[in-house]
Amino acid sequence: MSIGASIKPNLLAIVPPYAIWGPPAGAAALLAYLKAAGCHDFSFLDLRLFAPDVTKPTYREIGPFGESFVLDVPDLPLVLAVLEQFRLGGDLLDLPDAIVEPFCQERGLNSLHLRSYLARMGHLVTSVFDRIPELHFVGFSVWTSNYLTTLLAAACLKRRKDAPFIVAGGPQVSQSSTAAQLGLRAGLFDAVVVGEGEQALLDLYAGFSSTRRKVAAQVGGTLAIDPDDGAFVHKPRGLLKLQELPLPDFDEMHLPAYSLGGKRVVSYQLSRGCTDKCSFCSEWVLWERFRLTQMDRAVADVRELQRRWGAERIWFTDSLLNGSPNHLRTFAQGLIDKDVRIDWSGYMRAQTDAETARLLRRSGCMWVFVGVESLDDETLRRMNKRRTEQQNLDAVQAFLDAGIQVKVGLIPGFPGDTPKSFLRTAARLHRMMANHRLLGVSHEAFTVLPGQPIYDDLDAFGLTPIPWSDEVLGIAPALSDIAARSRCRVEGANQGIDRLGEYAVSLSLTGPAQPFDGDADHLREKITAYDLATTALGDDVWLVRTVSSLGHTVGLLLTTGEQRDLLSCAVEGVRPVPVCDAPEPGAAIRRLLASHAVGIPPEAPPVAAARYRSLPPLAEGASLAIGPHTIARRIGSLLWLANLATGNFHAIGIEDIVAAAILCGAELPMLPTAVDLTERGLLVYATLPAAAPAAAPRDRRPASPSA
């Protein structure tokens, strides 16, 4: 039976862990720009959907005694050890205890969990990419949380006989020169895109030779190594005009997998950059300066997002959605005037009035994240927030009174803040939460990272940088000069135990429906390799999920009796062996999988492109396939299907033509039942009819690579 569509040899990819808030905005923008220039050569693969529940266990911002670790390359010892193993041709994850144990102890990490996680991630990227034998050009989106796993994926690919050309882009390699340079010198990245990547990626691919696996010359907007002297060379590029960019393209993504609250979500930007330069923020590095698109164009784009992909909610990824309040009001009024009905949300500063808030709510605004950070005027001044306590409170109140859900951002541990002033902030927010069910608090401890104004002026904030030890720098001698420019942690004002205490207080700021969990439940994976997670689907049917030793989710559709028998043999005695690898439960899982019409075995995750577009029913030129994360089984007179990445499920009668095709492994007919299963995220489009051409970016270069 066909699973999805084949992956093209040119690929944009994301590896876990990084939280899934919606379809990746960066990849959608890049794909749209490529297609508008006539390049339809790329697939997209989100490996997070194979392991959607993974957290970030390779580092912590706060040590057990309040240490303030710098988010440059926070897991540098592990990174250097992996890169050294790559250089030596050894097992990438054969990491010595002398490196792992001190690193974990200093950060309060469980080394057994860390090693298990790294093994699973290593197996996941290997098993997935092994199932894509032909790859020429690969682009990775990189954040701090997935930097190490991206290196593992790149190393896996670079060990091929015909290794692909690898480009890294995204916040981590744009803001951290250390991260970018380590990947380049180690030979895992061939180029790094710094800042916005549309034109840089297009130019790289235009100059790419599929036979030599190289580009003809360095292009603007990238960091690369000079082949003559080995020096790092950054070639700058001018900024793009937002009004000239095409509509983000989600055709290569399986949008139902990114639904939130049961609604189809897409991402969009009214602006790039920020009007402010808060001392703790590094957003400006990625976008450089504040730029707006045209609001009438944005309203038309929203309508097109609804028509083309069935968007029901928009997640605005702007750094500052109300950077220009007048433009945001114009946009909101435009949605109302054009009768565009859609839910939307985004990040804003505490700058609004009651009338504006009501306008935003009428236009569909449901939720906002407001960067309050503190309710102490002196702390706000040191943060360069350009807001006061009263302005913060007035703006939050205006949003709440308009019926908009508000998540207030709070920064515990900011240098110069004091326990007394922080407790006052917490008390004020606590009183507000007691009276407003729509108010919540988000806590993100103060952390030093490259790109912040504070990063290059630590002394002015009473902070002292602490370098990495000689032992760490010696892990990979050929990279020590790069690593030495990174910092391990900072000490000084309001760090240490005070910072730890403020963070604990911020964690307690929850409402009656969400009491504080002292065991840090938010850091736990809900589905692990050592447990069976069960969900009742109804009609005596259960979805049971676990994680294979290869790192991907494995699932079963079971009757109550089968579920009870499986749970009884998967007892505590099998730990710490993964359930799929333990003799009795492992054999039972494989026996039950054999009864499924469609299953995902522990040994081999299915890898395929999962495409989506909101099409007219039974559209010509479209064909369907089983989704790569879908399982199916006949139980009684019904065929049950479930998506292991999302948990979505549905049942259809076995007499249905679509059910019969799935049960016998035949080609799926384009019928209403099949279209409904696609909308539920259980089937995907293997082929899509040609879409109306998007507006091409100006001054684009030819997109076809040279021979």
pLDDT value, residue 572: 55
Beta partners for residue 633, in sequence order? 640
In this structure, the chain runs to a length of: 707
pLDDT value, residue 618: 83
Taking alpha carbons only, the member of 66, 94, 64 closest to residue 78 is 94
CB atoms within 10 A of CB 513: 6
Residue 21 is classified by DSSP as S
Q: Domains of the chain: which residue ranges?
A: 10-61+70-235, 259-456+495-523
Residue 516 CA from chain centroid, whole number: 26
Residue 445 is classified by DSSP as -
Phi, psi for residue 105 in degrees, rounded to 5: -60, -40
Extract the runs of DSSP E, i.e. beta strands, from 548-687.
553-559, 623-626, 630-635, 638-643, 649-653, 683-687
Report the percentage of the chain scoring pLDDT > 90.
83
pLDDT value, residue 693: 55
Residue 546, CB half-sphere, CA atoms under 13 Å: how many?
25
Tell me: the pLDDT tens digits for 97-129?
999 999 999 999 999 989 999 999 999 999 999
Asked if residues 68 and 490 have their Cβ atoms less than 8 Å apart, the reply is yes
Asked if residues 487 and 466 have their Cβ atoms less than 8 Å apart, the reply is yes
Residue 561 token pair:
């009796």
CATH topology classification for 259-456+495-523: TIM Barrel (3.20.20)
Asked if residues 627 and 621 have their Cβ atoms less than 8 Å apart, the reply is no
Asked if residues 343 and 289 have their Cβ atoms less than 8 Å apart, the reply is no
Phi, psi for residue 602 in degrees, rounded to 5: -60, -25
Residue 366 token pair:
């449901």
Question: CA-to-CA distance for 136 and 130, rounded, in angstroms?
Answer: 14
Residue 357 token pair:
């808030």
Residue 231 token pair:
């020096």
Concatenated DSSP letters for 96-161?
-HHHHHHHHHHHT--HHHHHHHHHHHHHHHHHHHHT----SEEEEE--STTHHHHHHHHHHHHTST
SS3 call for 558? strand
Concatenated DSSP letters for 519-543?
T-GGGS-SS-TTS-EEEEEETTEEE
pLDDT value, residue 516: 52
pLDDT value, residue 690: 83
CB atoms within 10 A of CB 85: 17
Question: CA-to-CA distance for 661 and 634, rounded, in angstroms?
Answer: 12
Question: CA-to-CA distance for 417 and 499, rounded, in angstroms?
Answer: 9
pLDDT value, residue 707: 40
pLDDT value, residue 136: 96
Question: CA-to-CA distance for 35 and 266, rounded, in angstroms?
Answer: 18
Question: CA-to-CA distance for 579 and 225, rounded, in angstroms?
Answer: 45
Provide the sign of the torsion angle of the four alpha carbons 601, 605, 606, 609, taken in this order. positive
Q: How far apart are the first and last CA of the chain?
A: 35
Give every residue of the chain whose pLDDT is below 70, as ranges. 1, 511-524, 571-575, 692-707
Please, what is the angle between helix 111-130 and helix 97-107, to 10°? 120
Asked if residues 454 and 490 have their Cβ atoms less than 8 Å apart, the reply is no
Question: CA-to-CA distance for 599 and 590, rounded, in angstroms?
Answer: 10
Question: CA-to-CA distance for 606 and 45, rounded, in angstroms?
Answer: 12
Residue 60 token pair:
């912590």
Asked if residues 322 and 370 have their Cβ atoms less than 8 Å apart, the reply is no
